[in-house]
């Protein structure tokens, strides 16, 4: 019982922002042995997982700095951040917005970057810029996540030096339209379902087997507040993001005992190309979405993704909801003036 109470005590408390403009977040930080609050493993299993994780990090040559001393019998306790130097990170939808910011963040953490997106020219330009930073290795892949065979060929055809993906950031996604369901464009629906849901499935399926085989890895899904709430006209987009939230939770259960973690970072309003894409290039309508408030930046979300990836092996951020201070809920927004 004492071991169980010790494990339960590591669940994080919600964090709220302070000054105006600082984002508020709600995160659920669960020990790896608890993918759901009521799913428990035995003390023996938890100890075995901790030992395996520690050995895996040591074998890979990764340094795990101990930044805070905590009295515990668990060897993973007290490790507040993990050094990601040399880890291989695959980011989908990497040419703009959150994907590009994630690439920057992981480059700054010393990771090797495998960047995938449809716009190859833009992708190559980004890679050239990132390679100017000392020690940053970047490989690129032209990839449309909607094409299952293309995804399988891309991941299956990686050179040996890049095939062991440590962290997958499932960022590729989009919204199309904001019409009531009975007025919606079915082509828009198919694009959202094929990208946000099926594309995420194809990439995760292609990468996950290797992670399980190696006994380590981390999948970070970029979700949305639309996966927890709904709003007028959000019908199909909200449905795809609710599906991502459900998959994220199911994956945690599927991966229990494998050494592979799964997290979801679910932001509210982020000022990127998102609204421009949603409104099919209507710049004025896209600008109006963010008028009168300070939304999140892509960098804010990338910081949250990096936070998830740098937790010590015994801890996993299952879901992190990150909102602008001016947006406490999907449909409640405070606009100045």
Look up the CATH number of the domain holding residue 264: 3.40.50.720
Higher pLDDT, 51 or 337: 337
Q: Where are the alpha helices (DSSP H) in 182-320?
A: 186-192, 200-214, 235-254, 274-278, 283-289, 298-309
Mean pLDDT of 35-47: 43
State the pLDDT at residue 30.
Answer: 56
Residue 57 in domain: no
Residue 14 in domain: no
3-state per-residue secondary structure call for 93-123: CCCCHHHHHHHHHHHHCCCEEEEEECCHHHH
Residue 72 binned pLDDT confidence (cut-offs 50, 70, 90): very low
State the pLDDT at residue 32.
Answer: 55
State the pLDDT at residue 81.
Answer: 86
Residue 52 in domain: no
State the pLDDT at residue 31.
Answer: 55
Q: Residue 37: pLDDT above 60?
A: no
Distance separating alpha carbons of residues 109 and 137, to the nearest angstrom? 12
pTM for this predicted structure? 0.78
State the pLDDT at residue 184.
Answer: 97
State the pLDDT at residue 79.
Answer: 63
Higher pLDDT, 10 or 118: 118
Mean pLDDT of 277-290: 97
Residue among 170, 174, 201 nearest 264 (CA) = 170
Residue 232 in domain: yes
Q: Which residues contact 27 (CB under 8 A, 6 or more apart)?
A: 12, 14, 15, 317, 319, 320, 321
State the pLDDT at residue 43.
Answer: 41
Structural domain span for residue 178: 86-322
For 169, the 3-state DSSP assignment is: strand
For 270, the 3-state DSSP assignment is: strand
Distance separating alpha carbons of residues 207 and 88, to the nearest angstrom? 12
- In this predicted model, what pLDDT tens digit does every residue of 179-237 receive, in sequence order? 999 999 999 999 999 999 999 999 999 999 999 999 999 999 999 999 999 999 999 99
For residues 171, 317, 109, 144, the Cα torsion angle rounded to the nearest 10 degrees is: -10
Mean pLDDT of 79-104: 94
Q: Residue 113: pLDDT above 60?
A: yes
Residue 217 in domain: yes
Q: Which residues contact 261 (CB under 8 A, 6 or more apart)?
A: 32, 217, 218, 219, 255, 316
State the pLDDT at residue 337.
Answer: 78
Mean pLDDT of 23-30: 50
Residue 162 in domain: yes
Residue 135 binned pLDDT confidence (cut-offs 50, 70, 90): confident
Distance separating alpha carbons of residues 254 and 265, to the nearest angstrom? 19
Residue 236 in domain: yes
State the pLDDT at residue 127.
Answer: 94
Distance separating alpha carbons of residues 146 and 198, to the nearest angstrom? 7
Rg (alpha carbons) of the chain, rounded to whole number: 20
Q: Please state which of the ranges 73-82, 83-92, 304-313 shows the lowest mean pLDDT.
A: 73-82
Catalytic residue status for 290: no
Check if the beta carbon of residue 252 is closer than 8 Å to that of residue 36: yes
Mean pLDDT of 28-43: 48
Split into its structural domains, the chain has a count of: 1
Q: What is the mean pLDDT of the chain?
A: 84
- Sign of torsion, CA 107 267 148 125? negative
Residue 50 in domain: no
State the pLDDT at residue 35.
Answer: 54
Q: Residue 70: pLDDT above 50?
A: no
Single out the catalytic residue among 237, 274, 279, 307: 237
Q: Residue 76: pLDDT above 60?
A: no
């Amino acid at each position: 019982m004492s071991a169980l109470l010790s494990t339960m005590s590591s669940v994080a408390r919600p964090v709220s922002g302070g000054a105006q403009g600082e984002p508020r977040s709600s995160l659920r930080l669960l020990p790896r042995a608890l993918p759901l609050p009521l799913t428990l493993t035995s003390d023996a299993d938890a100890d075995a997982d901790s030992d395996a994780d520690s050995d895996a990090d040591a074998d890979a040559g990764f340094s795990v700095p101990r930044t805070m001393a905590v009295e515990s019998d668990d060897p993973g306790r007290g490790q507040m951040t993990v050094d990601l130097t040399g880890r291989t990170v695959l980011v989908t939808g990497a040419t703009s917005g959150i994907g590009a910011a994630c690439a920057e963040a992981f480059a700054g953490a010393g990771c090797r970057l495998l960047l995938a997106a449809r716009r190859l020219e833009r992708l190559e330009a980004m890679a050239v810029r990132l390679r100017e930073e000392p020690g940053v290795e970047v490989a690129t892949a032209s990839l449309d996540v909607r094409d299952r065979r293309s995804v399988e060929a891309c991941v299956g055809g990686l050179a040996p030096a890049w095939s062991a993906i440590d962290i997958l950031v499932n960022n590729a996604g989009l919204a199309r339209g904001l019409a009531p369901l009975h007025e919606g464009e079915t082509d828009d629906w198919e694009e959202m379902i094929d990208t946000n849901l099926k594309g995420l499935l194809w990439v995760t399926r292609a990468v996950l087997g290797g992670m399980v085989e190696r006994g380590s890895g981390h999948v970070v899904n970029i979700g949305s507040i639309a996966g927890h709430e709904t709003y007028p006209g959000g019908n199909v987009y909200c449905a795809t993001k609710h599906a991502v939230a459900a998959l994220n939770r199911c994956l945690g259960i599927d991966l229990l005992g494998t050494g592979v973690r799964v997290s979801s970072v679910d932001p509210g309003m982020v000022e990127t190309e998102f609204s421009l894409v949603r409104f099919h290039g209507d710049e004025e309508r896209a600008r109006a979405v963010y008028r009168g408030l300070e939304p999140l930046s892509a960098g804010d979300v990338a910081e949250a993704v990096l936070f998830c990836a740098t937790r010590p092996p015994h801890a996993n951020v299952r879901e992190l909801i990150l909102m602008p201070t001016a947006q406490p809920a999907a449909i409640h927004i405070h606009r100045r003036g």
